Structure 1
Amino acid sequence: MVTFFGNYNLIISNADLLVTKLFSGTKASVGNLVAENDSEKNNQVFWEFMSLRFYIGGLGFIGIITLMDPFIQVWLGEKYVLSISVSIVFAINFLLGQIRQPVDVFKQGFGLYADTWAPVTQGTINLIISFALAKPLGLTGILLGNTISLLIIVMIWRPYYLYKKGFKVQIGSYIIGFFKHLTLLCVFLFITNFIINLFPFKVKNFTDVGIKVVIVTPLSATIYGLILYTTNQHFRDVIKRLYSGFVNR
C-alpha cells in the first residue's frame, strides 16, 4: 500500500513542484507591492492571484480524477490503481495546495510571522486525525488527516490572520470572494465530468493515455477558462495582464 501511495504522490508532487517554479518570482513581487502601502492595489492583485490559483487547482483536480488512474494502470498495472476515494482526496489536497498560496504569499509579504504555533498545531491535527481514521478508512483516512488540518489552519486561520493584521479589514469580503470561486469551481467540475462521462474512453496503452490527455486538458482549460472569464473580473484582469506582458515582451 505504501508503494501504491508513493506512485500517486510522486506524480502529484512533481506537478505541484512545476507550478511552484512557474510562480517562483511571486514572493518578491508581492513584497514590493505591499511596501507601496496601497490597500486597493493589494486587494486587486490578491484576488487576481487567487483566481489564477483556483484555475490551476481546478484543472489539476479534474486531471487527477480523470487521468491519474488510467496512467497508473498502463504504467504499472491494474493492481497498483487505488480507489476513487483516494484519488478524490489527492485531488482535494492538490487544490488546497494551490489556493492557499495567495494567502501564504501575502502573509509573508506583510511580514506576519507571529503565528508560530500554527505549523505545530497543523501537524498535530494531521497526526491525530490520520491515526483515528487510518483503521476505518485506510489510506483515505490517512490522507484526510492532511486535508482536515489544511482546512482548519491554512484555509480558516491564515486568511483570518492575514485580513486582521495585514489587510486590516473584516474577513467577510474574503469569505464572500472565496465561496464565489468555490461555487464556480463546482460548476466547472460538474460540467466537465458530465461531458467526459458522455464519451467513455477505455485506455489500453500509452497512446490511449496520450489521446485522453489531449482531449481532457484543452476541454477542461476551455470550460473553466470561459466560466471564470465571463463571471469574474479579477480573472479577466489577470488574463489581460498576462496577454499584455506576452505581447509586449
Structure 2
Amino acid sequence: MAAESRTAKSLKNSVVALGFYFVNLILQFFSRKIFLDHLGAEVLGLNTTATNLLQFLNLAELGIGAAIACTLYKPLFDRDTAAINEIVSLQGWMYRRIAWVVIAGAAVLMCFFPWIFEKMPLPLWYAYASFGALLVSALLSYFVNYKQIVLSADQKEYRIQYSYKASMLAKTLCQIVAIKYFDDGYVWWLALEVGFAVVASVALNAVIRRTYPYLRTDLSAGKALSRKYPDVITKIKQLFFHKVAGFALTQTSPIIIYAYASLTLVALYGNYMLIVLGITSLMGAVFNGMNAGVGNLVAEGNKERIMSVFEELFSVRFLLSCTVCFGVYMLTPAFITLWIGPEYVLDDLTLGLMVATLYIGLTRTTVEAYLNAYGLFSDIWAPVVEASINIGMSVLLGWFFGLHGILAGVLLSLLIVVFCWKPYFLFRRGLKENLWIYVRMYAKHILLVSAVSAVMYLILGVLPFDPTAGIGAWLMYGVLVIGIFFSLLFGALYIAIKGMRIFVRRCQRIIR
C-alpha cells in the first residue's frame, strides 16, 4: 500500500503542476504583451536585468534546500517529529544567516546602480524600486517560507501549488489589469509584486500549520543543531560546487555564442531556445512531482523495490522524453515557418544537436532523482569538469565550426559527465549494484526506440500532410505523428520491458 500511495501522490503532484504550468504559460504570454504595449521594452528589460542580478545574489543559498530535503526523507518515513522539527529549525537558522548575506550584497550592489544603469533611458528610481520589490519576495523565502521544504519532501508539493502558486497566478492577473487600465501602471505592478508576495507567504504557512500541526522551529538552537547534523553541512558544501558550476555553465554558453556567431544567427538560435526551454519546463512539471517519492522509497530501504521502481521510472521517463524530442525535431521547422517565416529556420544539424542535448537533459532526471534521494553530492569535481569541457570545447570547436561546434561542445560535456559518469556514480555508491544492469537496460530501450524510429521514417514518407500549409495542418500533423510515435514506442516498451508493464498495472489499480 505504501508504494501505491507514493504513486498516487506523484501522479497528483504532476497533474496539479501541469495544470498550473499551462495557466501560468497563458498568463505570462498576455502579461508580456501588455507589459510591452503599455510600459515599453525599456521597463521590461530593466525588470529582466533586476531579476538576473537577484539570481546572482541567490547563489548564497548554497544548495541548503536540496541538502535539507534529502535529510528529511528518513524522519518523514519514520514519523520522527522531533527530528523533523530539528532539521527544519537548522534550515531556518541557516536561511536567516543567508538572508542577511543577501541583504548586505544587495546594499552593496545598489551602490553601483548609477553606473550599472547609466545608459537606461528611465529615472534611476525605477531600478531601485524594481530591484527592491523583487528582493522583498526573495527574502520572504528565507525568513518565512522555508518550511515548505517539508511539503516537498513529504510528496505534498501540490499543496504548495494550491496556496503559493495560486496566489502568484492571481498576482499576475491583477498586474495585467493594473498595467492596462490604471495610471502609473508600473507603480501598481511593483506594489502588487510586494503585496501578493506577503499574501502568498501567509497562505502557504497556513497550509503548513494545518498539515503539520506538530511543526515547531527553534532558530536559536541552530548552532547546536549544526553540530548534531554534520552530514547536512557536508552536503551543503558539496552542493555549493554543483550550484556554482551549474550557474557558470548556463551563463557562459550564451557569451560564447555571441562571440562567434553573428547577431542574426544568435536571434535564430534564440527562437529555437524558447521552444526548448518551454519543453524543459513542461517536462519538469511532469517529473519533479515524483522526486520526493523516490526519496521516500530510498528511506524505506527495500532494495528489491528500489531497483524495480528505478526501471519503472526510467522506462516512463524514457517514453515521454523520446516522444517529446521526436516532436521537437519533426515539428519545430514548420512551427518556425508559420510563426515568423521560413528565413528563420535553422539547418537540420543544428536542430539535431539541440534535440540531442534536450534528450540528455530530460533522461538524466531518473538518475539524478536517485542521487538526490541518497544524498550523493560528493563528486564535486564532476560539475567543474562538465563546465570546463563545455566552455573549453565550445570555444575550440566554435572557432572551427561556428554554432555547430559550440553546440557540439555542450553535448560532449553532457555525454562525458551526465550520460557516463552519473549512472556509474549512482550504481557504485548508492544502489550498490553492477553497472551492467543499467547498461543492458539502457541498450534495450535504445534498440526499441531505434526500431520505432525506422518504422516512423517509413510512415512519414506516405503521410499526405504539409505541416507548413497552415496552423490547422500543423496541428493535425503534430497530433498524428506524435500519437503514432508514442503508441509504437509505448507498445514496444510494454512488450519488452518489465518496468513499463508494472507501471501500467500500478496506474490501473489507482484508477480503479
Q: TM-score range by the shorter chain?
A: over 0.9
Ranges of 4+ aligned residues in structure 1 off by more than 3 Å: none
2:487 equivalent to 1:236: no
**Aligned counterpart in structure 1 of residue 413 of structure 2, from 124, 143, 149:** 149
2:271 equivalent to 1:4: no
**Aligned counterpart in structure 2 of residue 216 of structure 1, from 481, 490, 500:** 481
Name the residue aligned to 1:123.
387
User: Structure 1 residue 193: deviation in Å?
Assistant: 2.4
Distance 1:66 1:36, change over 3 A: same
Name the residue aligned to 1:135.
399
2:456 equivalent to 1:178: no
User: Structure 1 residue 138: deviation in Å?
Assistant: 2.2
Q: Does the 8 A contact of 1:52 with 1:235 survive in 2?
A: yes
Q: TM-score, normalised by structure 1?
A: 0.95
Distance 1:135 1:198, change over 3 A: farther
Task: Give CA-to-partner distance per residue, 1:44-84, whole Å, 9 cap, x none.
Answer: 11111110111011112211221010000110111110000
Distance 2:373 2:454 in 1: 36
Q: Does the 8 A contact of 1:107 with 1:162 survive in 2?
A: yes
Which structure's relative contact order is higher, taking Cα pairs within 8 Å and 6+ residues apart?
A: 1
Question: Aligned residues: percent identity?
Answer: 31
Distance 1:125 1:244, change over 3 A: same
User: Structure 1 residue 149: deviation in Å?
Assistant: 0.8
Mark the structure with the bigger radius of gyration. 2
The amino acid across from 2:270 in the alignment is G
2:368 equivalent to 1:104: yes
RMSD: 1.3
Give the aligned length: 247
Which runs of no fewer than 5 residues in structure 2 stay unpaired? 1-264
The amino acid across from 1:191 in the alignment is V
User: Structure 1 residue 194: deviation in Å?
Assistant: 2.2
User: Structure 1 residue 108: deviation in Å?
Assistant: 0.6
**Aligned counterpart in structure 2 of residue 52 of structure 1, from 316, 328, 333:** 316
1:188-203 alignment runs, 5 A limit? 188-199=452-463, 201-202=465-466, 203=468
**Aligned counterpart in structure 2 of residue 161 of structure 1, from 422, 425, 431:** 425
The amino acid across from 1:114 in the alignment is S
Distance 2:464 2:391 in 1: 39
Task: Tell me the SS of whatever aligns to 1:172.
Answer: helix
Distance 1:217 1:227 in 2: 15
Which runs of no fewer than 5 residues in structure 1 stay unpaired? none
**Aligned counterpart in structure 2 of residue 75 of structure 1, from 317, 339, 357:** 339
The amino acid across from 2:371 in the alignment is K
Task: Give CA-to-partner distance per residue, 1:181-218, whole Å, 9 cap, x none.
Answer: 11112112221122112225322221221121121121
The amino acid across from 1:174 in the alignment is Y
Task: Give CA-to-partner distance per residue, 1:111-163, whole Å, 9 cap, x none.
Answer: 11101111111011111111122133322221111211111001111111111
Q: Which moved more, 1:182-191 or 1:150-159?
A: 182-191
Q: TM-score, normalised by structure 2?
A: 0.47
Q: Which moved more, 1:108-117 or 1:200-209?
A: 200-209
The amino acid across from 1:36 in the alignment is E
Distance 1:42 1:134, change over 3 A: same
Distance 1:135 1:233 in 2: 47
The amino acid across from 2:272 in the alignment is Y
